[in-house]
Structure 1
Amino acid sequence: MPRQSDINPSFNAAITLDAAGRRTITTAAFVKELAAHNHIWTLKQANRWIEEQQCDFKDISTEEGERRTFMIRNMGRVR
């Protein structure tokens, strides 16, 4: 049985570091982590949740469609 409390940990587990050292997450990876906790979401549902619940992430997708990639915004770091 899916629990609401499994959604945030699933999101965090799907975050990876890319080659440039940025924290990114793909919608597909998030959906896969959710499925491990009995949440059966579509890519569209996962995108909507990320957009509504994770204001620190921005869309950096290079292709159209529901398979999207999000990156954590620069949280005030100066380079």
Structure 2
Amino acid sequence: MPRRYEIDAAFKQAIKKSEKGRRTVTTEDFVAELAKLNWRWDLREANHWIEIYVNTFHDVSTEEGEARTFALYNPNGGR
């Protein structure tokens, strides 16, 4: 049985760090992590959750559609 707190954990597991230190999350990775925890979401549901509950990542997708990429940003300009 899926549990609500697992959604946040799945999001954190989906975060990838590049060689330059940039942290990103793709909707596909998030959905895959959710599936490991018995959550069956489609890309649209995952995007909706990210948009509502995660305010430290913004959309940096280069293509239209539900397969999106979100990147960590600092709203204070790095200070």
Q: Counterparts of 1:65 and 1:19 in 2: how far apart (Å)?
A: 27
User: Counterpart in 1 of 2:6?
Assistant: 6
User: Counterpart in 1 of 2:64?
Assistant: 64
Q: Percent identity?
A: 49
Q: Counterparts of 2:9 and 2:20 in 1: how far apart (Å)?
A: 24
Number of equivalenced pairs? 78
> Where does structure 1 lack aligned partners over 5 or more consecutive residues?
none
Q: Counterparts of 1:42 and 1:68 in 2: how far apart (Å)?
A: 12
Moved over 4 A (4+): none
Deviation digits for residues 15-59 of structure 1 (CA, Å, limit 9, x no counterpart):
011243211000000000000000000000000000000011100
RMSD of equivalent CA atoms: 1.1
Q: Counterparts of 2:40 and 2:69 in 1: how far apart (Å)?
A: 19
Q: TM-score scaled to structure 1, two decimals?
A: 0.92
